[in-house]
């Protein structure tokens, strides 16, 4: 129940999914301050909702024009591994993609060990439900004794289609077994447009599940049943980590994405500060 940091520093290296650049990332222990990115310019960017700069294809954090992108998988792994405080030094524009999932990151974090700190970890408790709707997309959080997720997606592509993940308790063991291995996915039809926009430059079948009209292009197919929706759940957990504390609530999402996740985080923060949005 105590806040924690890592026992020893870790060095990561890999290719950025959108930038295509080689990036080195150093994760250092910290005795407080939360999870903070430190760019090559020395800019400190806290991993909280106030620092969100963009939700275009990834969660991007920024301060005074300096940004770090694609932070959601790392933040999800940090939060579910119980690492509340860390300094994340990065020499490039985004967190490396690795294999497109959070599984390698989680393995490295567990290997680094945990050091409990003196402060108790206080979860966020909702005073009432929060619901946000946007056309046919929606997100809802209701008070609960634990953290749970009900997430559904519905894509026109037959290889993806409708999938649902529904667990009343999402803890470290569920994350490791059922969520962390789920990889980023994308549509082959969008690749050219993404690259013209300067995105997806580091994407490949090594770090992305690619779907075309014929089905899944990756040799070996999917890692698990429902891998597409499980990756959406992974993104949600990373985005909810921007709260800076564990959330005790059941979060339900229909056809969500980073922007909708961020709206929920802002609404939860507002409620904790005495305002916010409530729904049935």
Whose CA is closest to 59, among 215, 247, 223, 265? 265
Q: What share of the chain is helix, strand, coil (3-state, %, to 5)?
A: 25, 35, 40
Q: CB within 8 A of 200, min separation 6: which ones?
A: 17, 18, 57, 186, 191, 194
What angle (nearest 5°) sits at the alpha carbon of residue 220, between those of residues 216 and 222?
Answer: 60
What's the length of the chain? 280
Distance CA 83, CA 9 (A): 13
Where does the chain have alpha helices with state H? 72-80, 103-112, 172-174, 191-196, 227-240, 258-272
Inter-residue contact 194 to 200 (CB < 8 Å): yes
* DSSP 3-state of 228: helix
262 included as an active-site residue: no
Give me the catalytic one of 73, 258, 261, 262.
Answer: 258
Instruction: Give the tokens for residue 230.
Output: 């499980």
Whose CA is closest to 197, among 19, 14, 70, 73? 19
C-alpha torsion angle, residues 267, 268, 270, 275 (rounded to 10): 90
Active site residues: 258
């Amino acid at each position: 129940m105590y806040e924690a940091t890592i026992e020893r520093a870790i060095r990561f290296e890999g290719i950025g999914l959108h930038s295509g650049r080689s990036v080195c990332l150093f994760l250092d222990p910290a005795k407080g301050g939360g999870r903070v990115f430190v760019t090559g310019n020395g800019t400190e960017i806290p991993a909280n909702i106030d620092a969100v700069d963009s939700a275009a294809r990834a969660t991007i954090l920024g301060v005074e024009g300096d940004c770090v992108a694609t932070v959601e998988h790392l933040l999800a792994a940090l939060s579910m591994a119980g690492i509340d405080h860390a300094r994340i030094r990065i020499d490039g524009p985004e967190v490396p993609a690795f294999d497109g999932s959070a599984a390698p990151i989680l393995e490295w974090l567990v290997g680094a060990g945990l050091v409990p700190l003196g402060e108790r970890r206080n979860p966020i408790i909702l005073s009432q439900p929060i619901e946000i709707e946007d056309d046919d997309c929606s997100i809802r959080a209701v008070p609960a004794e634990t953290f749970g997720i009900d997430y559904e997606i519905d894509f026109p592509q037959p290889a993806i289609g409708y999938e649902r993940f529904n667990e009343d308790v999402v803890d470290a063991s569920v994350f490791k077994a059922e969520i962390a291995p789920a990889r980023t996915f994308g549509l082959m039809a969008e690749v050219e447009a993404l690259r013209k926009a300067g995105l997806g430059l580091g994407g490949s079948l090594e770090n992305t599940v690619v779907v075309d009209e014929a089905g899944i292009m990756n040799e070996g197919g999917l890692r698990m049943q429902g891998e597409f929706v499980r990756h959406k759940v992974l993104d949600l957990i990373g985005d909810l980590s921007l709260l800076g504390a564990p959330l005790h609530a059941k979060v339900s999402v229909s056809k969500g994405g980073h922007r909708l996740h961020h709206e929920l985080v802002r609404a939860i923060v507002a409620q904790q500060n005495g305002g916010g949005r409530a729904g049935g």
